Structure 1
Amino acid sequence: MDETRSAALEAKAWPFEEARRLVRRYAEAPPEKGYVLFETGYGPSGLPHIGTFGEVARTTMVRRAFEALSDIPTRLICFSDDMDGLRKVPGNVPMQEALKADLNLPLTRVRDPFGTHASFGAHNNARLCAFLDAFGFEYEFASATEYYRAGRFDAMLLRVLERFDAVMEIMLPSLGADRQATYSPFMPISPKTGHVLQVPTLERHVERGTIVYAEPDGERIEIPVTGGHVKLQWKPDWAMRWAALGVDYEMFGKDLIPSAELGVRICRALGCPPPEIFNYEHFNDEKGQKISKSKGNGLSMEEWLTYASPESLSLFMYAKPKTAKRLHFDVIPKAMDEYHQHLRAFPGQDAAQRLANPVWHIHQGAAPASDMVVPYSMLLNLASAANAHDENALWGFIRRYAPEAGPETHPGLDAAAGYALRYFEDFVRPAKTYRPADERERAALGDLRDRLAAWSGPADPEALQAMVFAVGKEHGFEPLRAWFAALYEVLLGEAQGPRFGGFIALFGIPETIALIDAALAGSLVTGAAPGD
């Protein structure tokens, strides 16, 4: 047994805890199908979003953890429920009025309002695949329409027909009285209109594999349950898919726990073992309210990637999936810096420590080296103090601090500089509020300025930090954090800030002196920052 596998057997990281459930599932014998199947589901009535990324990223983390523990092959299917009927027209697509004529058609028969694909479902499926491909996920795309029409679900659909009463016994108690009166797990695809119909099943003919239902005009029609002539209601459909494909693992949001519990029971009623399941908490916005696509609150995928790297988002998804977390712009700097802290720690860790490091799970065990010689948060402070408007301005400071660094040799740092500038312009600059120094603070800032002017040694961050500490102590700041708060509020216009010795080393001693002079002259409060 190699070192990684040995360590993985005891690893406490949540993907390994999940993976060990799958190991136990096949402790006696490998699956007859020859592989362990992971699944994620997608409803293509809307576009891929940050939750889609999170579900595929987290599922992939469990998959890779399992592969570290077992030699059984794995597959990941991203399943699109694209045969479902269009219930309402999404508010964020063109051709609103035209699409109303397509209500209740399967999504793969609804016209594409963007005019690029054969259907709205095909358009959104293509967006999903492009989305997943952009992040390098390894997956297989699966379409409900294709699977139903090709007969891949036929055997299990016939079993649902055979065990209709057992499925109804599970489903009916979960429904209201009105819904109970009309409910059937089978939704016929009307040969007259093409609509997905939610109508009662009037007759069942197990021997012929058919059901009888009434069209809205009253005509009774007999159709087979196979070959794409019907679509199951989504909860029985979820369970049927588990059973038909032999799904071994699936995760879902906390709000779907009751539906998953019904699915587990239906899967067993169909004579198949349900998958190992895992529920995660949803994200909240800055007010603590659940993020909703319809509300448009919270942070979108595109917004995160405007200000930070995909890997930082993966780190955010990795951390505490069962804990509700705020997904808002102010979490981005911390995620960026923590990601690179984990990268820097990785080379010096032993096998057990690496498996507990999030970057093992983000990079499937092959974590790259970090080239962030300047933290993201420091780049923000630098942009603020330098009044920087482009990356070249930032690189001028960075090269002086780290002469060996450059955009070509440090592409991660170069990308981070661009992210930081955009973040600074959109969030930091509008919120900056400088205040004037009080009498004691003015004396301390004057002292700090004079000591910097007399500084003859190299711009060593630790030595400069010690000098900043000494100034605060000698001027009676107690607690000492009040001195650093004054530095941030008076010099940077922010409530929090960097380790100040490192900031001086990066920004430059002459530049810091000029910044202090501007603050003491009152020009920062009036908006005339150095460099204007």
Structure 2
Amino acid sequence: MTDQSLPPLDLSQDLVEAARASKAWPFEEARKLVKRIEKRDPGRPVLFETGYGPSGLPHIGTFGEVARTTMVRTAFRLITEDKIPTRLLCFSDDMDGMRKIPENVPDRAMLEPHLHKPLTSVPNPFGGDYDSFAAHNNAMLRRFLDTFGFNYEFASATEYYKSGKFDAILMKALEKYQAIMDVMLPTLGAERQATYSPFLPISPTSGRVLYVPMKDVDAKNGTITFADEDGTDITLPVTGGNVKLQWKPDFGARWAALDVDFEMFGKDHGPNMAVYDRICQVLGGRPPEHYVYELFLDENGEKISKSKGNGLTIDEWLTYAPTESLSLYMFQKPRTAKKLYFDVIPKAVDEYYTFAQKYPSMPLDQQLGNPAWHIHSGKVPAIDLPVPFSMLLNLVSASNAENKDVLWAFISRYAPGVTPENHPELDALVGYAIRYFDDFVKPTKSFRAPDEVERAALEQLDAQLAALPADADGAMIQDAALDVARAIERYQDHNKKSPDGGPGVSVAWFQALYQVLLGQERGPRFGSFVALYGIKETRALIEKALKGELTA
């Protein structure tokens, strides 16, 4: 949040030394920054920047830039013992022209007359208190970043251009006009070269952002001359919000104007990185340290897009999972393309809690590589989660639970003394599990009838479960299920060994159990699930499967 003080870090010497040697990617990036500023005034803040285009609703990729940049910022603070001030600037390119109407807005027709106007001049199709499309989308981004407690400053390109904050760099761009053109023209096709200009004037008659060639560039008077949409020659000062820069020169100019030290961006910007850097240098700046990450993909393997609205929104993820699971997803393998759709959520939830629960027992160097350290900026909370999220999902599936009370009846029997009051985090997961099951698992459940081999196996499993004590734990139940499968040739895996030296059990056995009893392709460890759901209840499930009631 703007002007919010940063939380204190543990700066013990052993931790600082471990951080300076850590191979976790945020520390590797932080060490590059330390080298960058070796000869600089230590009182001058290190500026981290993230860019955001409010041409559509913010998506998780936007959040990911802020989360990941914050992780690098925290790593930098630790290895420098928090002696060098830092800032994080979230910059919105809201003076860009609206080139197309997003597909996921409520009143597309209302926006048609405003094509190519700056996003801050486009009316807000969502209604409410915000006076422009950009203002609404900027507010959505800020609201979400604030819920995570990010320490950041928000900046609007429109405000920077109109208030004069970019006047000096715009005048410098006029002075270096030919040098900028020399950088840009080789990157363009012949047709585009003929009309290209790094300056985009705002038409004083239509209010649209114009992509027109310059008739005159007057560095002495700080003006440009161009033909307006009606053919009239117009001369405008480049200052005061009358003109903005094309997006590639704008990137480099912003770095030079603000003296940015670190910025990460997606792989789609990679081919232009050298252009951004060269423009920054032409304008007298030093390009920042970069970190190029892979793009997020939707369920079809396509790049997620603000205008298309494919993939996940921020609010959608948080409908089904806690915030920490989203932060974990951002931390892991930033340079690997990852699918960002609903089916990644359960795994992310369970992995987060696994990392957090393991954290206290890890040696110091491993703690700094644990995602939980980076998610919580070193202040990892104590986690006690008796039941994993995946198990809750299967419990909902087996019990057809429609409210928390049903699930808590099973949990309380499985883990006496565990209640919603003393385990609020687990209670929240129970709610997430019900919502996720209802929306994504239940519609795709498909039970199948057991074949003759499976029928016999299920009958034997039922007998084994009947012979177990009522309080049998997950390990005992798992052994009983394995004993059934070991005697059946179909389920023998000769690449594995059982405790008695015979063949092990193949995954086909448990896949059959999931398909026949739960109507799903995958499931949790069977013994642990039965211990939670109950032996009596599981036997009743087997009986229904044998009678054909589940497929009905």
TM-score relative to the length of structure 2: 0.91
Q: Within the alignment, does 1:459 sit opposite 2:475 as a pair?
A: no
Aligned pairs (5 A) from 1:43-54: 43-54=53-64
Once the two structures are superposed, residues 357-401 of structure 1 have per-residue CA deviations (whole angstroms, 9 ceiling, x without a partner) of 011111111112223211111111111111222211111101111
Check the 8 A contact 1:48/1:131 in 2, yes or no. Answer: no
Please, which moves more after superposition, 162-171 or 148-157? 148-157
2:492 aligned residue: 478
Partner of 1:59: 69
Higher mean alpha-carbon deviation, 252-261 vs 473-482, is at: 473-482
Alignment CA distance shift 1:221-1:440 (3 Å) = closer
Please say which of residues 135-144 and 429-438 is displaced more in the overlay.
429-438
Q: Deviations for 1:19-49, whole angstroms, at most 9, x for unmatched residues?
A: 11101101233467x1111111111121111
Structure 1, 424-433 or 262-271: larger mean CA deviation: 424-433
The answer to whether the 8 A contact 2:26-2:72 is kept is: yes
Quote the offset at 1:457 in angstroms.
6.1
Cα distance in 2 for partners of 1:430, 1:97 equals 34
SS of residue in 2 equivalent to 1:9:
helix
Aligned to 2:88: 76
Report if the CA contact (8 A) 1:108-1:119 is conserved.
yes
Instruction: Spell out the pairing of 1:373-392 with structure 2 (5 A cutoff).
Output: 373-392=386-405
1:529 maps to: none
Does the 8 Å CA contact 2:94/2:157 hold for their aligned counterparts?
yes
TM-aligned CA deviation for residue 190 of structure 1: 2.8
User: Residues of 2 paired with 1:29 and 1:8: CA distance?
Assistant: 22
Distance 2:107 2:515 in 1: 50
* Counterpart in the other structure of 1:9: 20
CA shift digits 1:211-248 (9 cap, x unpaired): 22222333333222222221111111111110010111
Contact 1:111 1:120 in 2 (8 A): yes
* Residue type of the alignment partner of 1:18: E
Task: Indicate which of 132, 138, 149 corresponds to 1:136.
Answer: 149
The amino acid of 2:420's aligned partner reads: P
1:490 paired with 2:504, answer: no
The 5 Å alignment of 1:87-106 reads 87-106=99-118
- Provide the aligned length of Structure 1 versus Structure 2: 525
* Residue 85 in structure 1 maps to residue 93 in structure 2: no
Find the aligned partners of 2:209 and 2:298 in 1 and give their Cα distance: 35
For the residue of structure 2 that corresponds to 1:367, the secondary structure is coil
SS at match of 2:302: coil
d(CA) in 2 for partners of 1:125 and 1:503?
44
8 A contact 1:342–1:357 mirrored in 2: yes
- Residue among 247, 261, 282 paired with 2:295: 282
**1:172-210 deviation per Cα after TM superposition (whole angstroms, max 9, x unaligned):** 111222221111111222333333222222222222222
Partner of 2:45: 35
Q: Percent same amino acid at aligned positions?
A: 59
For residue 108 of structure 1, give the secondary structure of its aligned residue in structure 2: helix
Range with greater deviation from structure 2 (45-54 or 164-173):
45-54
Alpha-carbon distance, 1:453 to partner = 2.2
Code of the residue aligned with 2:452 in structure 1: it is E
Q: Structure 1: which 5+ residue stretches go unaligned?
A: 527-532
Q: Within 5 A, what are the aligned runs for 1:350-365?
A: 350-365=363-378
| Residue equivalent to 1:530 | none
1:218 aligned residue: 231
Distance in 1 (alpha carbons) for counterparts of 2:206 and 2:91: 26
Mean CA deviation greater in 8-17 or 439-448: 439-448
How far apart, in 2, do the equivalents of 1:475 and 1:258 lie?
57
Separation of aligned partners in 2, 1:99 and 1:430: 36
Q: How does 1:15-414 map to 2 (within 5 A)?
A: 15-30=26-41, 34-70=44-80, 71-115=83-127, 116-414=129-427
Which of 542, 547, 551 aligns to 1:516? It is 542
2:97 alignment partner AA: G
Deviation at 1:341, TM superposition (A): 0.5
